[in-house]
């Protein structure tokens, strides 16, 4: 369990505690001490910081839950895919940045790649067993975040606290800011393209404030299959960790008789340019998605530290995409170089502390 102390990691530990078939064999965090957690779960391998692949080599897991935040999860994603070890992937940034390398590694490893993002878990389940040619398009739902309905002028002076007040999901700080800018949906658009091989012009994003419909697939016969449930990450975590068994969870069942209204609307791409920028990066291909991700990580970190206004996050990403080359990365070293260069370029647009 990589990122064991985070929002996903903590919920995943609860899933493990309630599921007799699952046993924790290794824990990793970035800087939080793991001694208490490791002894409470009788875990032999625990690592704070450092190279995640060393921990994985020592622990020999059957399933890797990658719930690290950001590009730091890349080594673990490629390690699991290369070896055919089942990868339960919450760390979308690694798949976005390393799309081509990850797909090549999965082909060699022939293992399972199970998304933990609720939208992609939903799409995975709607697509399972369907012929690719029967799929018309994918529809990713977005809550719209805390600033849905606001104008650009109203976003000029929003604070970190405002951005962290998500209406439907309780998550770590980086993804919560990404939800407020819609960069999270941009990353998810890029992630969906890598996971399901559907071209960008056939992946739509719609705003759905209550987050009950987690995503849907339209088929060529005119049918649309959707995945519904109250917003609770326990479901996609348990689905990935116990695939294909769907272990029982105690999450509340959807109560349709209590009344349920489902609302959908088009996203506001002018107020939230990071969604359109992600589509542009995806269509450009090569390392452009990695550049988008790196610039966004730099800008979000600066916003969280109070060094960058909210609207400037998108400006930093747009300028970095314009300045960086997007040539494909042939191996991990080239990808690491593209990521580092994008971070350097993005840093030019961010005031120092
Ligand atoms: N939260 C959600 O509901 C949700 C939903 C869908 C997808 N995701 C994705 O899941 C991932 C995790 O999100 P989160 O909300 O759980 O984030 P979070 O609460 O900020 O937790 C991040 C975790 O990663 C660890 N970490 C950070 N840098 C690391 C490094 N270099 N090496 C090892 N571990 C490191 C952190 O350890 P420390 O405690 O030491 O900092 C922490 O355990 C993100 O990619 C996010 O986009 C999250």
Interval 69-92: pLDDT, tens: 999 999 999 999 999 999 999 999
φ and ψ at residue 64, rounded to 5 degrees? -110, 120
* 154 Cα–ligand 1 center, Å: 30
pLDDT at 140: 98
304 close to ligand 1 (CB < 6 Angstrom): no
Select from 69, 87, 92 the residue to mutate for testing ligand 1; criterion: most ligand atoms less than 8 Å from CB.
69
For residue 326, name the pLDDT band (cuts at 50, 70, 90).
confident
Select from 12, 53, 97, 171 the residue to mutate for testing ligand 1; criterion: most ligand atoms less than 8 Å from CB.
171
321 close to ligand 1 (CB < 6 Angstrom): no
The Cα–Cα gap between 304 and 334 comes to 29
Residue 103: name the closest of 117, 121, 89 by CA: 89
Q: Read off the pLDDT of residues 113-146 as tens digits, 9 standing for 90 and up.
A: 999 999 999 999 999 999 999 999 999 999 999 9
Residue with tokens 């348990």: 238
Q: Give the residue whose CA is nearest to atom 20 of ligand 1.
A: 172
Q: How far is CA 119 from CA 132, 240, 291, 338, in A?
A: 19, 13, 23, 28
Q: Which atom in ligand 1 lies closest to the alpha carbon of residue 9?
A: 16
Residue 181: name the closest of 340, 90, 308 by CA: 308
* 92 Cα–ligand 1 center, Å: 10
Q: Read off the pLDDT of residues 238-278 as tens digits, 9 standing for 90 and up.
A: 999 999 999 999 999 999 999 999 999 999 999 999 999 99
For residue 351, name the pLDDT band (cuts at 50, 70, 90).
confident
* 67 Cα–ligand 1 center, Å: 5
pLDDT at 174: 97
Residue with tokens 């995943």: 12
Category of 202 on φ-ψ map: left (φ > 0), alpha (ψ -120 to 50) or beta: alpha
Q: What is the 3-state secondary structure (H, E, C) of the chain?
A: CECCCCHHHHHHHHHHHHCCCCCCCEEEECCCCCHHHHHHCCCCEEEECCCHHHHHHHHCCCEEEECCCCHHHHHHHHHHHHHCCEEEECCHHHHHHCHHHHHHHHHHHCCCEEECCHHHHHHHHHHCCCCHHHEEEEEEEECCCCCCCCCHHHHCCCCHHHHCCCCCCCCCHHHHHHHHHCHHHHHHHHHHHHHHCCCHHHEEEEECCCCCEEEEEEECCCCEEEEECCCCCHHHHHHHHCCCCCCCCCCCCCCCCCCCCCCCECCCCCCCHHHHHHHHHHHHCCCHHHHHHHHHHHHHHHHHCCCCCCCHHHHHHHHHHHHCCCCCCCCHHHHHHHHHHHHHHHHHCCCCC
Q: Which atom in ligand 1 lies closest to the alpha carbon of residue 170?
A: 3
Q: Give the residue whose CA is nearest to atom 3 of ligand 1.
A: 171
Q: Which residues contact 191 (CB under 8 A, 6 or more apart)?
A: 92, 95, 96, 115, 117, 120
Residue 234, Cβ neighbours under 10 Å: how many? 16
Give the distance, in angstroms, between the CA of residue 68 and the centroid of all CA atoms in the same chain.
Answer: 10
Residue 187: name the closest of 105, 119, 127 by CA: 119
pLDDT at 123: 98
pLDDT at 226: 98
Select from 29, 72, 179, 191 the residue to mutate for testing ligand 1; criterion: most ligand atoms less than 8 Å from CB.
29
29 close to ligand 1 (CB < 6 Angstrom): yes
Q: Which residues contact 150 (CB under 8 A, 6 or more apart)?
A: 271
Do 192 and 214 contact (CB within 8 A), yes or no? no
26 close to ligand 1 (CB < 6 Angstrom): no
Q: Read off the pLDDT of residues 3-21 as tens digits, 9 standing for 90 and up.
A: 999 999 999 999 999 999 9
* 173 Cα–ligand 1 center, Å: 9
pLDDT at 348: 95
Q: What does the longest C-alpha to C-alpha distance in the chain come to? A: 56
Residues paired with 47 in a beta bridge: 28
pTM over 0.85: yes
* 68 Cα–ligand 1 center, Å: 4
93 close to ligand 1 (CB < 6 Angstrom): yes
Q: How far is CA 128 from CA 102, 112, 119, 157, 216, in A?
A: 20, 13, 14, 44, 12
Average pLDDT taken over every residue of the chain: 97
Select from 28, 175, 185, 278 the residue to mutate for testing ligand 1; criterion: most ligand atoms less than 8 Å from CB.
175
Q: Read off the pLDDT of residues 283-323 as tens digits, 9 standing for 90 and up.
A: 999 999 999 999 999 999 999 999 999 999 999 999 999 99
Residues paired with 216 in a beta bridge: 139, 226
Q: Give the residue whose CA is nearest to atom 38 of ligand 1.
A: 30
**Residue 187 pLDDT greater than 90, yes or no:** yes
**Residue 325 pLDDT greater than 90, yes or no:** no
């Amino acid at each position: 369990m990589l990122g064991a102390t985070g929002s996903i990691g903590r919920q995943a530990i609860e899933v493990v505690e309630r599921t007799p078939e699952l046993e924790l064999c290794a824990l990793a965090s970035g800087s939080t001490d793991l001694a208490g957690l490791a002894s409470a779960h009788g875990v032999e391998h625990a690592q704070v910081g450092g190279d995640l692949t060393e921990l994985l080599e020592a622990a020999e897991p059957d399933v890797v839950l990658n719930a690290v935040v950001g590009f730091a999860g890349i080594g673990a994603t490629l390690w699991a895919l290369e070896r055919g070890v089942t990868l339960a992937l919450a760390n979308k940034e690694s798949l976005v940045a390393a799309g081509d390398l990850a797909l090549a590694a999965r082909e060699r490893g022939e293992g399972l790649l199970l998304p933990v993002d609720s939208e992609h878990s939903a799409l995975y389940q709607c697509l399972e067993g369907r012929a690719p040619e029967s799929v018309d398009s994918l529809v990713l739902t977005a809550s719209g975040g805390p600033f849905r309905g606001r104008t650009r002028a109203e976003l000029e002076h929003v604070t970190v606290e405002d951005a962290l007040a998500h209406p439907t999901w309780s998550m770590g700080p980086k993804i919560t800011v990404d939800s407020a800018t819609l960069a999270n949906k941009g990353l998810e658009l890029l992630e969906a393209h890598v996971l399901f091989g559907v071209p960008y012009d056939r992946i739509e994003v719609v705003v759905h404030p209550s987050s009950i419909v987690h995503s849907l697939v339209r088929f060529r016969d005119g049918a649309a299959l959707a995945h519904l449930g109250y917003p609770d990450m326990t479901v996609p975590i348990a689905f990935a960790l116990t695939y294909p068994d769907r272990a029982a969870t105690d999450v509340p069942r959807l109560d349709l008789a209590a009344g349920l209204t489902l609302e959908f609307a088009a996203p506001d791409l002018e107020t939230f340019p990071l969604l359109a920028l992600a589509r542009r990066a995806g269509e450009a291909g090569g390392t452009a998605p990695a550049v988008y991700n790196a610039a966004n990580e730099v800008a979000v970190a600066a916003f969280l530290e109070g060094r960058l206004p909210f609207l400037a996050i998108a400006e930093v990403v747009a300028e970095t995409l314009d300045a960086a080359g997007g040539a494909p990365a042939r191996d991990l070293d080239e990808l690491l170089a593209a990521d580092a260069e994008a971070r350097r370029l993005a840093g030019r647009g961010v005031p120092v502390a």
